[in-house]
Amino acid sequence: MNGQASQGRQPDTGVVLRTAGEADLDAAAALFRGYLDFYEVRVEDPDRPREFLAERIAKDESLVLLAEVPGAGTVGFAQVYRTFSSLALRPAWILGDLYVAPAGRRTGAATALLREVLRRAAASGAAAVQLETAYDNHVAQGLYEAEGFVRDEFHLYVHELKGLEGPA
């Protein structure tokens, strides 16, 4: 990652985005637990979300982006898995989780996170970003569709990155 990304990037909305590192694990884990609670996923070990994120960050297996809103703190996160698309024979990204806590809703944090995922994926040379969403999560579906994702199957969305520009 470049220095700009590690220091934080501020989109037009006033939301500040940054790449999560070890120092951010508590904030990221709290948001991850909020995400799991929202989808009613039960985790027996309350420290497992933090341990999971620590493992993924340490092994550079996933990118975790955090969104801060002035006055509200760290309110959102997106976790992206880098993979390889056998169809396109190019790198691809899978958006595993995107969550904005109640304090950050209606601030543009979700849109800022999603756009940053797309920007970084395009800059890396990825062919597409793919995600799954609950079929009844109309708020998420509306966001994804507004940003150019196309429903491929029942709850699978794909955003082809042809023509998207990389770093600004």
Q: What is the pLDDT of residues 147-168, one digit of tens each?
A: 999 887 777 888 888 765 544 4
Report the alpha-carbon distance of residue 140 to residue 92 in Å, rounded: 21
State yes or no: pLDDT of 68 exceeds 80. yes
Alpha-carbon distance 109 to 102, whole Å?
11
pLDDT tens per residue across span 136-147 = 566 778 888 899
Give residue 77's pLDDT.
Answer: 92
Q: Residues 49-64: pLDDT tens digits?
A: 899 889 888 887 788 9
Report the 10 Å Cβ neighbour count for 130.
20
* Paired residues of 86 in beta bridges: none
Please give the model's pTM, rounded to 2 decimal places. 0.80
More confident position, 85 or 53:
53
pLDDT at 5: 38
pLDDT reported for residue 168: 43
Residue 128 confidence (pLDDT) above 60? yes
Are the beta carbons of 93 and 130 closer than 8 angstroms? yes
Dist CA 163 CA 7 (whole Å)? 27
Average pLDDT over residues 94-121: 92
Instruction: Please write the tens of the pLDDT for every residue from 9-41.
Output: 655 568 999 999 889 999 999 998 988 888 788
Per-residue pLDDT, 1: 29
Which residues does 149 contact at the CB level (< 8 Å), separation at least 6?
129, 131, 157, 158, 159
Q: What is the pLDDT of residue 26?
A: 93
Question: Regarding predicted confidence, which is higher, 107 or 141?
Answer: 107
Question: What is the chain's Cα-based Rg?
Answer: 15
Asked if residue 17 lies in contact with residue 11, where contact means CB atoms within 8 angstroms, the answer is yes
Residue 118 has pLDDT above 80, yes or no: yes
Instruction: Check: CB of residue 128 under 8 Å from CB of residue 86.
Output: no
